[in-house]
């Protein structure tokens, strides 16, 4: 596992352990960077019955279309660092 992949997994662990309530737009950023970083060459249609929420998720995911998976991992790590106040090492 390379350094970026290791840091990304650590960032995911940190984000999963967060208890701080974040605004919906920030949660969508987390969602879209994570999905883009972990899904190869396919569109992920959000599941569930809440069509409005799913539309927001899908829109956030589409906004990531022009970045690479590595860039999405880097941005996800930055978000985690920003909202946890801790460096992902």
Q: What contacts 56, CB < 8 A, 6 or more positions away?
A: 24, 28
Mean pLDDT confidence for 57-68: 75
Query: Does pTM surpass 0.85?
Result: no
What tokens appear for 10 in the block? 């650590």
Residues 56-61, mean pLDDT to the nearest whole number: 70
The CATH number fitting domain 3-84, selected from 3.40.50.1100, 3.40.50.2300, 1.20.80.10, 1.20.810.10: 1.20.80.10
Residue 48 binned pLDDT confidence (cut-offs 50, 70, 90)? low
Average pLDDT (17-23) is 93
How far is the C-alpha of 17 from the C-alpha of 60, rounded, in Å? 23
Segment 63-88 mean pLDDT: 92
| Angle (deg, nearest 10), helices 3-17 and 24-38 | 150
% the chain with pLDDT above 70 = 80
Q: How confident is the model at residue 7 (pLDDT cuts 50, 70, 90)?
A: very high
């Amino acid at each position: 596992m390379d350094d970026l992949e290791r840091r990304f997994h650590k960032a995911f662990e940190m984000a999963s352990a967060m208890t701080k309530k974040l605004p919906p737009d920030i949660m969508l950023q987390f969602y879209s960077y994570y999905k883009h970083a972990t899904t190869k060459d396919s569109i992920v249609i959000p599941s569930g019955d809440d069509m409005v929420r799913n539309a927001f998720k899908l829109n956030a995911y589409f906004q990531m279309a022009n970045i690479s998976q590595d860039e999405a991992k880097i941005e996800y790590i930055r978000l985690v660092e920003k909202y946890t106040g801790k460096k992902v090492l």
